[in-house]
Amino acid sequence: MQTTSRNNRQYWGTLALGAGIGVVYLVGFVIGGKPLDGVVSLAIMVGFTGGVALIARRSETVRGLLDHRDERISGIDLRATAVTALAMIAVVLVGFVVDIARGGSGWPWYLIGAVGGLAYIAAVTIFRVRG
């Protein structure tokens, strides 16, 4: 089991990550010449993160997803992530097939698929070595 301070760091770290992604969106839109869209994206991410933080004050499940204090909720998070990955794999495969059927090269679907496949192989290798 983990310490409370570490759990708090994970809790705030997860929330900060959400807001940080919004800042990255903002920078991307500013570079692309659409600063207003960037501000809207940042506001959406900050709003979403704030909403999650508020819900976490009342929901053990949401808080557990943020701070990983509870092993059962962490297990649920892991399985939900695996289901999400399967859904994303299905989308990438369908996107690739549709693109090549239309005469395209499969870009960027094959690149996403390759990154996913390599990430899976690397993860299996690392986790196997670590026991």
Partner 1 sequence: MKNDVRERRTAHGLAQGELAHALAVSRQTINSIETGRYTPSLPLAIAIAHFFGTTVEEIFHADHVEE
Query: Using CB under 8 A as the criterion, which residues of the chain lie in contact with partner 1 when the complex forms?
Result: 1-2, 4, 60-61, 63-64, 69-73
Other CB atoms within 10 Å distance of the CB of residue 25 = 18
Q: Which C-beta is closer to partner 1: that of 78 or that of 101?
A: 78
The residue count for the chain: 131
CB of 45 to partner 1, least distance (A): 27
- CA atoms of 31 and 80, how far apart (whole Å): 34
CB of 64 to partner 1, least distance (A): 6
Distant-in-sequence, close-in-space partners of 45: CB < 8 Å, separation ≥ 6: 18, 19, 21, 22, 25
CB of 85 to partner 1, least distance (A): 23
CB of 4 to partner 1, least distance (A): 7
Q: Which C-beta is closer to partner 1: that of 2 or that of 84?
A: 2
Q: Which C-beta is closer to partner 1: that of 14 or that of 61?
A: 61
Q: Which residue has the tokens 């990430």?
A: 119
Q: Which C-beta is closer to partner 1: that of 25 or that of 67?
A: 67
Task: State the Rg of the chain over Cα.
Answer: 19
